[in-house]
């Protein structure tokens, strides 16, 4: 057993370099498996090595899971990437402050705040992007953007101010240094995310419209057929029908059928004249089956059939 007192800081670049030098010298005389360095400096060195590995793993996994959720939410590959860049940018800006201010931060605080900021603050970007994607189909991009910000501002302000205030109070009340770091970084990071989402994300959405459109896709879901209907007499039909109407038919029908119907209507509607004594279509809404519609006024939802 050898005890060494170092005239070096407990942790730092010089200290970690010295520990590596000690390892390399001792391994020349002893088996590497029989040599152990212990102490605060060694513990700090081990934590710094594990932090780099854990930080990469947590960052990559967080981005992957968030992107997967957003891809199927917006049916686009480009839009989730744009949103992730904004939030990840706020995380990078947030953790430049400890370096600029020459303050230390616990590595666990960094990992926790990174995960929370990515998971919580991405909601602000989702709200604005959802409104913008919906509104730009009915108005110009500039008008859609202004309207989206107007509708999203109360939500972003309420949620962000609560999270930021909670982090600030935790940082001020607690005396545990690691928890203080979490509270301060979370409060500061939320404010930065709010700023980027409200003032930077809108420009990114407009400039990235072409990317979003080119990376959009559609997922075709199987249609749920309505139960087969057996009707007789005069029936108002509006929709795609597959079955037999005094003879086989597979077509879009908009009109009146007089005769027997035995078919599956997976979309659209039908209605019977008053006094026919037959039940209306199962699951049809009042809008789909009015009481006394004329033959050309019955409307239904368009879709595919089985």
User: pLDDT tens-digit profile of 100-121?
Assistant: 988 888 888 888 888 888 888 8
- Can you tell me which residue has the tokens 């038919």? 249
Domain boundaries, the chain: 1-37, 53-214, 222-272+282-300
Domain 53-214, CATH among 1.10.287.130, 3.90.1150.10, 3.80.10.10, 1.20.1640.10: 1.20.1640.10
Report the C-alpha gap between 83 and 69 in whole angstroms: 12
Are 305 and 249 in contact by the 8 Å Cβ rule? The answer is no
How high is the pLDDT of residue 60?
85
How high is the pLDDT of residue 283?
40
How high is the pLDDT of residue 147?
92
Give the chain's residues under pLDDT 50. Answer: 226, 277, 279-306
How high is the pLDDT of residue 234?
57
How high is the pLDDT of residue 279?
45
Spatial CA neighbour of 170 closest among 182, 160, 159 = 182
Report the C-alpha gap between 219 and 73 in whole angstroms: 11
How high is the pLDDT of residue 214?
84
Give a three-class secondary structure readout of the chain.
CCCCCCCCCCCCHHHHHHHHHHHHHHCCCCCHHHCCCCCHHHHHHHHHHHHHHHHHHHHHHHHHHHHHHHHHHHCECHHHHHHHHHHHHHHHHHCCHHHHCCCCCCHHHHHHHHHHHHHHHHHHHHHHHHHHHHHCCCCCHHHHHHHHHHHHHHHHHHHHHHHHHHHHHHHHHCCCHHHHHHHHHHHHHHHHHHHHHHHCHHHHHHHCHHHHHHCECCCCCCCCCCCCEEECCEEEEEEEEEEEECCEEEEEEEEEEECCEEEECCCCEEECCCCCCCCCCCCCCCCCCCCCCCCCCCCCCCCCCC
CA dihedral (298, 301, 249, 304) in degrees, to 10, reads: 170
pTM: predicted TM-score of the whole model, two decimal places: 0.61
And the tokens for 143? 């008008």
Q: Please provide the size of the chain in residues.
A: 306
Report the C-alpha gap between 304 and 241 in whole angstroms: 9
Spatial CA neighbour of 262 closest among 291, 242, 282, 292 = 242
How high is the pLDDT of residue 57?
85
């Amino acid at each position: 057993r050898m005890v060494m007192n170092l005239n070096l800081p407990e942790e730092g670049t010089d200290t970690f370099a010295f520990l590596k030098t000690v390892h390399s010298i001792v391994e020349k005389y002893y088996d590497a498996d029989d040599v152990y360095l212990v102490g605060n400096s060694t513990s700090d060195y081990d934590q710094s090595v594990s932090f780099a590995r854990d930080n990469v793993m947590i960052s990559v996994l967080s981005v992957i899971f968030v992107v997967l959720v957003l891809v199927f939410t917006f049916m686009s590959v480009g839009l989730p990437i744009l949103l992730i860049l904004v939030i990840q940018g706020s995380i990078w800006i947030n953790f430049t402050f400890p370096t600029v201010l020459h303050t230390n931060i616990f590595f666990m605080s960094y990992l926790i705040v990174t995960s929370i900021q990515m998971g919580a603050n991405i909601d602000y970007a989702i709200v604005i992007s959802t409104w913008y994607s919906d509104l730009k189909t009915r108005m110009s991009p500039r008008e859609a953007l202004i309207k989206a910000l107007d509708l999203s501002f109360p939500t972003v302000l309420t949620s962000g101010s609560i999270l930021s205030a909670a982090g600030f109070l935790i940082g001020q009340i607690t005396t545990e240094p690691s928890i203080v770091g979490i509270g301060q970084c979370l409060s500061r990071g939320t404010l930065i995310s709010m700023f980027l989402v409200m003032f930077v994300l809108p420009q990114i959405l407009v400039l990235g419209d072409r990317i979003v459109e080119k990376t959009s896709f559609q997922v075709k879901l199987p249609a749920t057929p309505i139960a087969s209907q057996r009707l007789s007499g005069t029936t108002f039909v509006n929709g795609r029908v597959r079955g037999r109407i005094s003879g086989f038919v597979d077509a879009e029908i908009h009109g009146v059928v007089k005769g027997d119907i035995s078919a599956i209507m997976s979309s659209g509607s039908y209605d019977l004249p008053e006094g026919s004594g037959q039940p209306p279509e199962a699951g049809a809404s009042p809008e789909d089956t009015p009481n006394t519609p004329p033959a050309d006024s019955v409307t239904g939802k368009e879709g595919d059939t089985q």
